[in-house]
Structure 1
Amino acid sequence: MASLTIRNARKNYGAVEVLKGVNLEAESGEFIALVGPSGCGKSTLLAMIAGLESVTAGEIWIGDRMVNSVAPKDRDIAMVFQSYALYPTMTVRENMAFGMESRNVPKDQQKETIARVAALLQIEPLLNRKPGQLSGGQRQRVAMGRALVRDPALFLFDEPLSNLDAKLRVDMRTEIKKLHQRVGKTTVYVTHDQIEAMTLASRIAVMHQGELQQFDEPEVIYNRPANVFVAGFMGSPSMNFIDAELSSANGQTAVSFPLSDGNVASLPLANDIGDRAGERRIILGIRPEHLARNDADTPSRPGFATMDVPVEVVEPTGAETMAVLKFGDREVVGRFSPDTAPRTGETMPLVVDMTRACLFDPSTRRLI
């Protein structure tokens, strides 16, 4: 195993700056997810780690070795691609053995390694088949097996589940997590799917427009996002944002914004923010699951604010129900259990969990 350190990594294609000084560090055995929308630079960064793209500026270290000028074959890495990249004329066994053959690994050692990895991935019955005879999930297991037989210091995954259907993606996500728990190798995993990142990674690097927005544990990324972009990108449905102002309610700092009926909502803050807000204007961020129906069974607790809001649309999804609520001129999504779900057209008594609210500076878009 080896750690990975990236220091002020930059990548230019002519006058276009794709990466703008990325810094991050993965500890030995850690699972890091690079996540962000298409074009954010995450796949370019992975290619630079692998040696498939040159580094315009900065340093990339694998363990105690800077690898900027080291050839990909000498970096002690293994990469799993989105397209599987299996040789169609070779059997699964031959695909897995190919890299070992080129490195002159003895036949007995090849056989032993393939048997061990095939058992780990539960692909023993597939060893004599060719890729054309396999399902998408089976091909992805073989692609992972081909990487595993190398026993590298670093695993790199480039959106490996993008070509699979929704159910198979969930199954393979579980398999990748089990695999990492078994082998404990340092792993860098690129995805645009924030659910994959949240469920797999020990830490997540959120990227946008070539810059690292936040690098932290999934719980911190979700609950204390560094800025409006991270808050909106991570989570499905995403965080709700409401333009509001700071006010005073019964001697307590509150968040205020106009409602559709002409009244003003005043939601007391659960935590004192001191002078960190700077200006009176703020952006209130609240996740859909932190809205709930206010009824006789709802306990009155500090940090929970109440208000009445119109219900625009209700969307049952089975285990939960989404509802579009009207906060003044802003539509807000709430996540409810089917038992407490609102009805379209009703004015819903609502509880807002202000202990989980996030406040953002409207000028910098950063968390206050």
Structure 2
Amino acid sequence: MASLTVRNLRKNFGTVEVLKGIDLEARAGEFIALVGPSGCGKSTLLAMVAGLETVTSGEIWIGDRMVNSVAPKDRDIAMVFQSYALYPTMTVRENMAFGMESRGIPRAQQAETIARVAAFLQLDQLLNRKPGQLSGGQRQRVAMGRALVRDPELFLFDEPLSNLDAKLRVDMRTEIKKLHQRVGKTTVYVTHDQVEAMTLASRIAVMHLGEVQQFDEPEIIYNRPANIFVAGFMGSPSMNFISAEVTSLEGRPVVSFPISGGVANLPLHGDVAERVGGSRKVVLGIRPEHLSRQSQNTRGKPGIAEMSAPVELVEPTGAETMAVLKFGELEVVGRFTPDEAPKAGENMPLAVDMTRACLFDPGTRRLI
């Protein structure tokens, strides 16, 4: 297995700069995800790693080889596409064997490899079927099987689950994670779905407008996002953003913002006050799950601030309940357990977990 290193990679289509100096490294055996909205450049980056797009400037290294000018077939990679890209007139067995056949691998070795990979992916009963006789999930497993039989140094996945229904996507996410745990190959996975990125990857590169906004472990990206874009993109429902001001109340630093009937003053926790550096305008970021109903468990707990807010809308989802709350003129989303679920029209007593709150600079939009 090999590492992947991308250094100051740039890509122009005419006068349009699509990638603006990308620096990334996937360690040998690591699973990294490239995530971001449509048009952010993630699929272009993957295509450049695969050799399907030329490099305007910068370097791509697979292991100890710079591969900028190396043909795709010589990069020792395997790619799984969004559209599966299976040959419709060939059987599953023939689709999986095609790459080995073109490389002149002996038939006996082909048969042995296909049998092993088919058993691993539970395709052994489907080898004589054609793609049109398979479900979407089965076709995706065939596409993965075709990549696996090559035993490459690097696996590339380009939004492989986007054509599947919601339940099948969850099932296939599990299959891909199991696949990586068993095979242990370096993997780069492109998706616009932040849940896929969070559940699959050991590290995530969040991209926007051709730049990497943050590259880190999922927990760090979720809990300490580098900027407002990352904070808003990662998480569903999205983080709530509140225009506020850091001031002092009774000698304690607080975050203040207007609410119905007055002002909310939420005490800062930990070393945040030192990082803020005195009174200033900020954007307060609070994730929906960090709002809860006041209770005996929250009262007096360090870092928990109390306030109340009217409930405008309630959305039960079974395991949890979403609610839209009014913080003055601003609508804020909260995620609650069924036993603390609010009712529409209620003035809900809230406990705000300020140990998990984020403060952003409203000018630079970066985390303070």
- Mapping 1:45-194, distance limit 5 Å: 45-194=45-194
Distance 2:274 2:164 in 1: 49
Shift of 1:356: 0.2
Distance 2:82 2:302 in 1: 48
Q: Tell me which residue corresponds to 2:265.
A: 266
Q: Tell me which residue corresponds to 1:11.
A: 11
Query: What secondary structure is seen at the aligned counterpart in 1 of 2:151?
Result: coil
Letter in 1 for 2:15: A
Distance 2:334 2:274 in 1: 30
Shift of 1:298: 3.4
Q: Tell me which residue corresponds to 1:25.
A: 25
CA contact (8 A) 1:288 1:335 kept: yes
Matched residues, number: 367
Distance 1:149 1:291 in 2: 48
Query: What secondary structure is seen at the aligned counterpart in 1 of 2:276?
Result: coil
Q: TM-score, normalised by structure 1?
A: 0.98
Shift of 1:199: 0.2
CA contact (8 A) 2:307 2:350 kept: yes
Query: What secondary structure is seen at the aligned counterpart in 2 of 1:82?
Result: coil
Query: What secondary structure is seen at the aligned counterpart in 1 of 2:129?
Result: coil
CA contact (8 A) 1:227 1:367 kept: yes
Q: Tell me which residue corresponds to 1:334.
A: 334
Letter in 2 for 1:201: A
Identity of aligned residues (%): 81
CA contact (8 A) 2:79 2:156 kept: yes
CA contact (8 A) 1:41 1:209 kept: yes
Shift of 1:173: 0.3
Query: What secondary structure is seen at the aligned counterpart in 2 of 1:245?
Result: strand
Distance 1:238 1:363 in 2: 21
Distance 1:145 1:193 in 2: 23
Distance 1:363 1:319 in 2: 38
Letter in 2 for 1:52: L
Distance 1:304 1:203 in 2: 30
- Whether 2:215 is the aligned partner of 1:215: answer yes
Query: What secondary structure is seen at the aligned counterpart in 2 of 1:355?
Result: coil
Q: Tell me which residue corresponds to 2:295.
A: 295
Q: TM-score, normalised by structure 2?
A: 0.98
Query: What secondary structure is seen at the aligned counterpart in 2 of 1:231?
Result: helix
Query: What secondary structure is seen at the aligned counterpart in 1 of 2:88?
Result: coil
Q: Tell me which residue corresponds to 1:229.
A: 229
Runs (4 or more) in structure 1 with deviation over 4 Å come to none
Q: Tell me which residue corresponds to 1:322.
A: 322
Map Cα deviations across residues 85-122 of structure 1 (whole Å, 9 max, x no partner).
00011100000000000000011110110011001111
- Whether 2:357 is the aligned partner of 1:364: answer no
Distance 1:272 1:96 in 2: 56
Q: Which runs of 5+ in 2 are unaligned?
A: none
Q: Tell me which residue corresponds to 2:311.
A: 311
Query: What secondary structure is seen at the aligned counterpart in 1 of 2:138?
Result: helix
Distance 1:307 1:91 in 2: 63
Distance 1:301 1:264 in 2: 22
Shift of 1:248: 1.0
C-alpha RMSD of the superposition: 0.9
Query: What secondary structure is seen at the aligned counterpart in 2 of 1:124?
Result: coil
Q: 1:285 to 1:60 in 2, by over 3 A?
A: same
CA contact (8 A) 2:298 2:304 kept: no
CA contact (8 A) 1:277 1:361 kept: no
Q: Which runs of 5+ in 1 are unaligned?
A: none
Map Cα deviations across residues 306-359 of structure 1 (whole Å, 9 max, x no partner).
001111100000000000011111110000011101110010000000000000
Query: What secondary structure is seen at the aligned counterpart in 2 of 1:289?
Result: helix
Query: What secondary structure is seen at the aligned counterpart in 2 of 1:126?
Result: coil
Query: What secondary structure is seen at the aligned counterpart in 2 of 1:88?
Result: coil
Query: What secondary structure is seen at the aligned counterpart in 2 of 1:204?
Result: strand
CA contact (8 A) 1:228 1:367 kept: yes
Letter in 1 for 2:272: I
Distance 2:351 2:318 in 1: 23
Letter in 2 for 1:222: Y
Map Cα deviations across residues 154-202 of structure 1 (whole Å, 9 max, x no partner).
0000000000000000000000000000000000000000000000000
- Whether 2:38 is the aligned partner of 1:38: answer yes
Map Cα deviations across residues 50-87 of structure 1 (whole Å, 9 max, x no partner).
00000001000000000000000000000000000000
Distance 1:188 1:326 in 2: 41
Distance 2:172 2:216 in 1: 24
